[in-house]
Amino acid sequence: MDFVANLTLGLQTAMTLENLIYAGVGCLLGTLIGVLPGLGPLTTISMLLPFTFGLSPIGALIMLAGIYYGAAYGGSTTAILVNLPGEASSVVTTIDGHQMAKQGRAGAALAAAAIGSFVAGSLGVLVLAVFSGPIAQVAFSFGPAEYFALMFMGLIGAVSLTSGPLLKSLCMIVVGLLIGLVGMDVSSGVVRFSFGSIALWEGVDFIVISIGIFAFAEIVSTLERQKTGEAQVAPIASIMPTRQDIKRMTPAILRGSTLGSFLGILPGAGVSLASFFAYSLEKKTSKYRHELGKGAIEGVAGPESANNAAAQTSFIPTLTLGIPGSATMALMLGAMVIHNIQPGPSVVTRNPDLFWGLIVSMWIGNLFLVILNLPLIGMWVRLLRIPYSMLFPAILMFCCIGVYASSYSVLDVFMVAGLGAAGYVLAKLDCEPAPLLLGFILGPMVEEYFRRALVLSDGDFSVFVSRPISAALLAVSIAMLVFAALPKLRKARQTAFAED
Amino acid sequence: MKLIKALLATSVLVLAGSGAAYAQNYPERPVTLVVPFAPGGAVDMVGRFIADRLSAIWGQTIVVENIPGAGTLLATGQVSSASPDGYTLLINSATVTMRAAIQETPLVDPAEDLTHIGRIGATPLLLATSPSLGVSNYDEFAALAKERELKYATVGVGSLNQFASEILRSAADLQMTPVHYNGGSPAMTDVIGGHADLFYGSITQVIPHVREGLMTGIVVSSAERSDILPELPSVGELGLDDAVIENWWGLFGPKGMDEAIVDQINADLNTVLQTPEMAEFLQSDGARPLWGTPEEFTEQVKSEYATWRRVANEQGIRPE
């Protein structure tokens, strides 16, 4: 069995003491920040990214995986205890989770979320192992023309990351694209939009964009929304689920994991939709469907499992096609690009140890979550009670230190401040920042591959349609654009996001 | 307080009289060595190795600071405008003469704006082709490149790869045109996949792919054959003297450093370079130590910079 060998390689990579420590530290840090009210996984991950930059690629990815799970779990914790969803996918968790918390069963809800995530993650790893083989086989037939078509499709797919109007998404992509163009152009050596500053020759740092647009803007908006200054936290009695709980959540976890695994593979909005679909599935199939909405454990276990399974399997489109399934995955993609993982089908063959190390470490990160964070829940809850007036200035300061430490550039710190203000304005205008991020990551790649393909074909544009893979991908992108623009389908998209 | 310090500093300078007496105290505090690349690359590793050995000789800490960006020009510019007191040094490669050569007015003139302390080592380049080209030696390769235009992959406009390929092209009368990539790894991936035809890059970077049979080794860029690839011909023995090129690393400082300090650092650097560990360390990179006087180094930088400016003008290599 090929995939057993692959998983073994991944385990060997991830299971060194050093890497286990990175996973554990990442998990703790992720939860530490993620549990703070108003800070969703997206904000948390963008804040903690600089901590991984000094590490080796594998160490960094493993720590990132830990952070990812810690942050997601921290997000679920605030969703359940404070009724404050950190990102779109945990909106569903608040429905039954917070009801359970009100009934004094917050512990069981948290346990269901963590255990469900773990089971789902394990299933996701298996799905990944099975699907990566066929993907790797097409890798070498990918030349610049194919990559161009692929990245172009990713850009179009960015539209599906949001629930807002198509026009706004497209505008945000273009803004991201323009920011991505800053710096020296690979193909010509010309420096663009640097305004005479040598510090901008290398372009705008990904970390500056993510902290500015996501973290800073989010913190400012949260301060504005929450005037009370302190979150209302539901009390926790016992963390252990009862036998009845386990019996009830098991089928929900299995349903959610299966559904999520498949949705995650679909390029585009798979991850964001997984928890919604899982909740709908519970509504239709669960024996206890009448209790849903009133604090049923299925309502937490199903969506949380689906979300995690989808996150796991969405590494397939994220890494091989450059199409992340959610804003959080877009951020993870950016972080991986920094660590020299170029998205594309060859990612599996080019760095097998990195790829499999990452997959297995996602799973280990999840395991750490269960064994490390469940017992520590009391501590996390105390964090929820820190007044915002002390918390947020401290967070902003740590963000600035992180930005400065990752590039030693003072200009970057100023840019973060500027982008934070811009991000706040964008949030006010209901412009979602995820497409901007994707435009920023993929835009320059689209250009690079486009021009390279033309140099290699001696300026012959037909290269994009005469090569079958490229032609097919471009056709799919156009279809995606048309679908997104059709009014009827757009409505369906909005309903999927709004459903509760 | 400031005045007293300034007076003290002046009197020390005056008392020192000759530079030799001044240099005896060098270094009195930690020295910063700027590496113009991100941690982990070849230059970074050589820089850290040198820093470690020099700090043992000097009994002072050497802080290695990575300032990547703008094809080494960001770090080079910062060092050139630092105080020439010997406490800010720079390690850079042959790239510094090339990236400046393609600019109309260079941000930093490597010949004039820096003090040339000493050379460290040099390494040849290896030209390797895509297996899809179907050539197995230099003669077949040259015949094909005379028949039709080949695409060579580079890591950017004005890079070592581009200059090496261009001087080979004109010396051997071949037809080749550049395709630019963001780094050696994606460039070689496209050569392996048959999308670009060849890559002429640092021997360490290319050799693993040649050993695995993913690319075909054709020729090395030095005057003599390379010890780690004795089976491949060198451009020198093929009679293409104008195409001989090597990447090198050297130690620089800001313009106007005290001569005595330069001589002292140069002497200590040469001591390090002549140790067997240094030779062994560089050999693992396909390189060899290259020592000499500051004057020799200045000569080399000047003449290479002039050559690259001429080549850039002739071949039209510039940002456009």
- What residues in B contact A202, CB-CB < 8 Å? 68-70, 74
- Under DSSP, the state recorded for B17 is -
Q: Are the Cβ atoms of A201 and B158 closer than 8 angstroms?
A: no
CA distance B180 to chain A (A): 5
**What structural domains and CATH numbers belong to chain B?**
29-123+247-315 (3.40.190.150), 124-243 (3.40.190.10)
Q: What is the pLDDT of residues A331-366, one digit of tens each?
A: 777 777 777 676 776 677 767 777 787 778 778 888
| Chain A residues near residue B157 by CB distance under 8 angstroms | 188-189
Could you give the number of structural domains in chain A?
A: 1
Q: Which residues 235-294 on chain B approach chain A with CB closer than 8 angstroms?
A: none
- Pairing outcome for strands A191-192 and B216-220: unpaired
Q: Name the token pair of B171.
A: 């010396």
Query: Which residues on chain A are in Cβ contact (under 8 Å) with B192?
Result: 140
B193 touches chain A (CB under 8 A): yes
User: Which chain B residues are Cβ-neighbours of A144 within 8 angstroms?
Assistant: 190, 195
Mark yes or no for CB contact B71/A184 under 8 Å. yes
Which has more pLDDT, B74 or A346? B74
**Nearest CB neighbour to A408, from listed B67, B177, B180:** B67
d(CA A380, CA A23): 18
* A350 contacts on B by Cβ (under 8 Å): 185, 189
**pLDDT tens-digit series, residues B266-292:** 999 999 999 998 988 888 778 889 888
Q: Is the pLDDT of residue B50 over 80?
A: yes
The sign of the torsion formed by the CA atoms of B190, B194, B196, B199 equals positive
Chain A residues within an 8 Å CB radius of B107: 198
Looking at beta carbons, which residues of chain B come within 8 Å of A180? none
pLDDT at res. B21: 41
Q: Would an 8 Å CB–CB cutoff place A187 in contact with chain B? A: yes
Report the residue from B69, B185, B186 with minimal CB separation from A201.
B69
What is the domain extent for residue A476? 2-498
Given a cut of 50, the residues of chain A with pLDDT beneath it are: 1, 229, 499-500
Confidence of residue B13 (pLDDT cuts 50, 70, 90): very low
> What pLDDT does B311 receive?
93
Radius of gyration in angstroms for the set of CA atoms belonging to chain A, rounded to a whole number? 22
Of B39, B74, B179, the CB nearest to A455: B179
Please write the tens of the pLDDT for every residue from A238-267.
Answer: 667 788 888 888 899 999 998 888 878 766
Q: What is the pLDDT of residue B40?
A: 62
| Each residue's pLDDT tens digit, B148-191 | 999 999 988 889 999 999 999 999 999 999 999 877 777 887 89
Using DSSP's 3-state secondary structure scheme, residue B255 falls into coil
pLDDT band, very low/low/confident/very high, at B137 (cuts 50, 70, 90) = very high
User: Residues of B with CB below 8 A from A143's CB?
Assistant: 190, 193-195
Do residue B189 and residue A350 have CB atoms under 8 angstroms apart? yes
CB contact under 8 A, B156 and A186: yes
Residue B46 and residue A232: Cα distance in Å, rounded? 56
| Inter-chain touch B193–A140, beta carbons under 8 Å | yes
Q: What mean pLDDT is predicted for residues B85-112?
A: 90
> Is A342 an interface residue toward B (CB < 8 Å)?
yes
| B chain contacts of residue A200, beta-carbon cutoff 8 Å | none
Is the model's pLDDT at B293 over the cut of 90?
yes
Report the pLDDT value the prediction gives residue A398, as an integer from 0 to 100. 79
Which of A456, A463, A467 is most worth mutating to test chain B (most B CB atoms within 10 A of its CB)? Answer: A456
User: Is the model's pLDDT at B22 over the cut of 50?
Assistant: no
Q: Would you call B190 and A144 a contact, using CB atoms and an 8 Å cutoff?
A: yes
Write out residues 98-137 of B within 8 Å (CB-CB) of A.
102, 107
One-letter-per-residue 3-state SS of chain A: CHHHHHHHHHHHHHCCHHHHHHHHHHHHHHHHHHCCCCCCHHHHHHHHHHHHCCCCHHHHHHHHHHHHHHHHHHHHHHHHHHCCCCCHHHHHHHHHHHHHHHCCCHHHHHHHHHHHHHHHHHHHHHHHHHHHHHHHHCHHHCCHHHHHHHHHHHHHHHHHHCCCCHHHHHHHHHHHHHHHHCEECCCCCCEECCCCCHHHCCCCCHHHHHHHHHHHHHHHHHHHHCCCCCCCCCCCCCCCCCHHHHHHHHHHHHHHHHHHHHHHHCCCCHHHHHHHHHHHHHHHHCCCHHHCCCCCCHHHHHHHHHHHHHHHHCHHHHHHHCCCCCHHHHHHHHHHHHCCCCCCCCHHHHCHHHHHHHHHHHHHHHHHHHHHHCCCHHHHHHHCCCCHHHHHHHHHHHHHHHHHHHHCCHHHHHHHHHHHHHHHHHHHCCCCCHHHHHHHHHHHHHHHHHHHHHHHCCCCCCHHHHCHHHHHHHHHHHHHHHHHHCHHHHHHHHHHHHCC
Return the pLDDT at A224: 77
pLDDT value of residue A410: 82
Verify whether the Cβ–Cβ distance A189 to B156 is below 8 Å: yes
Categorize the per-residue pLDDT at B306 as very low, low, confident or very high, splitting at 50, 70 and 90: very high
- The pLDDT tens digits for A296-327 are 888 889 988 988 888 888 877 777 766 676 67
How much is the pLDDT for A29? 87
| Residue B163 C-alpha, separation from nearest chain A C-alpha, in angstroms | 14
- Residue in chain A lying closest to B318 (CA): A189
